[in-house]
Structure 1
Amino acid sequence: MSVTHSPAPHTGVARQMSTLDRYLPVWIIGAMVLGLALGRLVPGLNEALDAVKVGSVSVPIAIGLLVMMYPVLAKVRYDETRRVTADKRLMGLSLVLNWVVGPALMFALAWLLVPDLPEYRTGLIIVGLARCIAMVLIWNDLACGDTEAAAVLVAVNSVFQVLAFSFLGWFYLQILPGWLGLPTTSADFSFWAIFLSVLVFLGIPLLAGFLTRHFGERAKGREWYEHRFLPKLGPWALYGLLFTIVLLFALQGEAITSRPLDVARIALPLLLYFAVMWLGSLLASRAAGLDYAHSTTVAFTAAGNNFELAIAVAIGTFGVTSGQALAGVVGPLIEVPVLVGLVYVSLWLAPKLFKNDPTVPVR
């Protein structure tokens, strides 16, 4: 696989990001504040949002979730999956880190740090199961990772989540705790509830994203699709996320304002997870003999999480006012600034850990 470098990213990581991406934590905080204000100031808003729903999911929130998932999945180069077998070390290491180490690490952190808060603990475990398929492409590019490898891993994770997420959720929420003598998730949880949520909130936008790219490239070509169409479509992922957060916090306002320490306790295992997962993956990739560009790609794809899917599954399975949904919402607030910081760390470590490596960015 070829290596594509961004020009001198260490001179200003933030400046290479769009205004929307650069200030994502600010927009998320603003959406939270707006949601809290609406929940407190608009009489009957909670009842109105909860009244229009299909099953246990509010229709307005379902629309927000689908809108934020679709642009992300329309960006994936699905034809790049043909290159999966080109580097068996890369793919094997990435699959183990993403689907074995990552979920196990989040499971351990959740039980160690929030053992007395079962709803938040379950929400954190769901976050750990939702492997990154979105903004990892941004972090990877800023850190001068391998762009083709990132595209392959994103595509593989997109498809693999449809097949594996429900089983892993059932395993980590019911089977493994039972084996360890720990309390299992409440009877409200079922394998099929998570499967249905994944099928709807990942399967539908995944199919739509695949068809959009297929027919868009067929009609206008890849150059038009990626440089003219995607820039117009891309911001809608953030719009959908912010819309969903506003609604969630309008519904969750009382729980959040009355228990701010709970939010801080959700944030701690997330912070540790991102840092440990990224550094461990980078060092494991180096030990496996991968160069800087591929090691960085493996590290960011392993450390990032698909918080959009985590929020969707938590809402679809446990409800919009659940602690599980709140844990999912806190995810992007912690992930975005931490992974931006890790871009700088990656560029700083590159010449120290990967000496005489031609893929290391030149200062």
Structure 2
Amino acid sequence: MSHHAQATQPGGASPEDDTAHVTAKLSTLDRFLPVWIGAAMVAGLLLGRAIPGLDQALSAVEVDGVSLPIALGLLVMMYPVLAKVRYDRLDTVTADKPMLVSSLVLNWVVGPALMFTLAWVFLYDLPEYRTGLIIVGLARCIAMVIIWNDLACGDREAAAVLVALNSVFQVVMFGVLGWFYLSLLPGWLGLPQETLDVSPWQIAKSVLVFLGIPLLAGYLSRRIGEKRWGRTAYERSYLPVIGPWALYGLLFTIVILFALQGDQITNNPWDVARIALPLLAYFALMWGGGFILGKALGMTYERTTTLAFTAAGNNFELAIAVAIATFGVTSGQALAGVVGPLIEVPVLVGLVYVSLALRNRFPHQPQAAILPPNQSPHA
């Protein structure tokens, strides 16, 4: 699925923009994406329950705290999308100051404050889960959001810039905001206080592995591929071949995440339900707020979609790693982080389809059609 697959008309939608028409053109992999994701979640849970010691074995395969299976899945997932980015167009994104400022405000002011509020409203009597959710709210997404944005036909170049911007702020601000929301602000409000022991290197390492490696690989692929074959051949021949691997990587990552935490999820169903409520509210409010803000600022559909998904997504890999390092692998804080992708994955997949249904209500940015008609990059 790609907004590069066909040209759109600025200021209005063509008949081809009808969601049902677009959906009919999708590959089998794309069309039944919710089914595959649901199957991957179930498969992960069953594997975690059926194979004794699997979660410990998977957890043991890591280097300096980074799970190699999860890292592998995320790298495979992100590379094809980042190889599609036209890096020569990034200046058009960095020149869009309203979008950049809006993204920073949504991610680093609204997001953490909203999660802090929801955690205290819904989990006032469960301090461990409450703290875990606040940590989730501080970890802005730098990985899976690339997939959600691409599936919803958002602006790939804008997503690359916003994710890179979030990664820089994440290294600088994660520890500061953790201290503010877990210690300083609760102290001002007369609420119980927590401490968060996390080093800037731990955050930087997550950014370097989960974003730096696929971003560099995607950039080099685009640069070398265009130089050797030309842009048209690169986009018509190479991208359709690697395209499906983004979703293969996503499904593999989901299986591993749920296999690692299958016991905790299935053994604590009521706790999972309690944690799920504020997460559902958070994703809906952040995504909806991003869409409303994009509409109010007169943004195109593509950039509004990117703004909304980068605001709604969270870096659960980082949140889980921080919670485990600070509070322990069996802690309630870690469980709250684990429940995150359980809720985020199906909700944001659903919001992909909601986004596509809203496309006719927004102007569209013109795109140069490179891929042949009816050719999906995931086909």
**Normalising to structure 2: TM-score of the pair?**
0.76
Partner of 2:377: none
Larger RCO (alpha carbons 8 Å, 6+ apart): 2
Offset at residue 86 of structure 1 (A): 4.9
Residue in 1 aligned with 2:351?
338
Amino acid at match of 1:178: S
Task: Say whether the 8 Å CA contact 1:61–1:244 is kept in structure 2.
Answer: yes
Q: TM-score normalized by structure 1? A: 0.79
Match of residue 243, structure 2, among 226, 234, 239: 234
| Change over 3 Å in CA distance of 1:272–1:59 after alignment to 2 | same
- 1:189 is paired with a residue whose SS is coil
Q: Does 1:175 align with 2:157?
A: no
Is the 2:55–2:261 contact (alpha carbons within 8 Å) kept by the matching residues of 1?
no
> More deviation in 332-341 or 123-132?
123-132
Tell me which of 10, 19, 25 is aligned to 1:3. Answer: 10
Q: Structure 1 segments of 4 or more deviating over 6 A?
A: 306-309
Is residue 189–residue 317 contact of structure 1 (8 Å, CA) maintained in 2?
A: yes
Q: Which amino acid aligns with 2:305?
A: F
Report what 2:151 is aligned to.
Answer: 138
Relative distance call for 1:8 and 1:295 in structure 2 (3 A) is closer
Matched, 1:212 2:221: yes
Q: Does 1:263 align with 2:268?
A: no
Q: Whole-Å Cα distance in 2 between the matches of residues 286 and 233 of structure 1? A: 33
Deviations 1:234-281 (CA, angstroms, capped at 9, x unpaired): 222222222222222222111111222333344433433343334433
CA distance in 2, matches of 1:44, 1:88: 50
Q: Is the 8 A contact 2:142 2:166 kept in 1?
A: yes
Quick check: 2:135–2:178 contact (8 Å CA) kept in 1? Answer: no
Corresponding residue to 1:124 among 136, 139, 160 = 136
* Separation (CA, whole Å) in 2 of partners of 1:109 and 1:153: 29
Q: Verify: 1:312 aligned to 2:325, yes or no.
A: no
How far residue 8 of structure 1 moved from its aligned partner, in angstroms, is 3.1
Q: Which residue of 1 aligns with 2:66?
A: 57
Which of 188, 201, 215 does residue 192 from structure 1 map onto? 201
Q: Secondary structure at the match of 1:134?
A: helix
Are 1:301 and 2:311 counterparts? no
Note if contact 1:31-1:243 (Cα within 8 Å) is conserved in structure 2.
yes
Quick check: 268-277 or 68-77, which moved more?
268-277
SS in 1 for 2:147: coil
The equivalent of 1:276 in structure 2 is 285
Unaligned runs of 5+ residues in structure 2 are 1-7, 366-379
Alignment of structure 1 residues 91-170 onto 2, 5 Å: 91-115=100-124, 116=126, 117-118=129-130, 120-122=132-134, 124-126=136-138, 128=140, 130=142, 132-140=145-153, 150-170=155-175
CA distance 1:242–1:308, change in 2 (3 Å): farther
Secondary structure at 2:85 match in 1: coil
Percent identity reads: 44
Cα distance, 1:125 vs structure 2: 1.0
CA gap of 1:30–1:119, structure 2 versus 1, over 3 A, is: farther
Are the aligned partners of 1:70 and 1:205 in contact in 2 as well (CA < 8 Å)? yes
1:80 shift after superposition:
0.8
Q: CA RMSD in A?
A: 3.3
- Indicate if the aligned counterparts of 1:166 and 1:191 stay in contact, CA closer than 8 A: yes
Q: Is the 8 A contact 1:123 1:326 kept in 2?
A: no
CA distance in structure 1 between the partners assigned to 2:169 and 2:286 by the alignment: 20
Aligned to 1:29: 38
Larger deviation: 101-110 or 158-167?
Answer: 101-110
Q: Deviation at 1:54?
A: 1.3
How far apart are residue 344 of structure 1 and its match? 1.6
Residue identity opposite 1:304 in structure 2: F
Q: How big is each residue's C-alpha offset from its partner over 1:160-200, in whole Å with a ceiling of 9 and x where there is no partner?
A: 13311222322332223333125566544333212211122
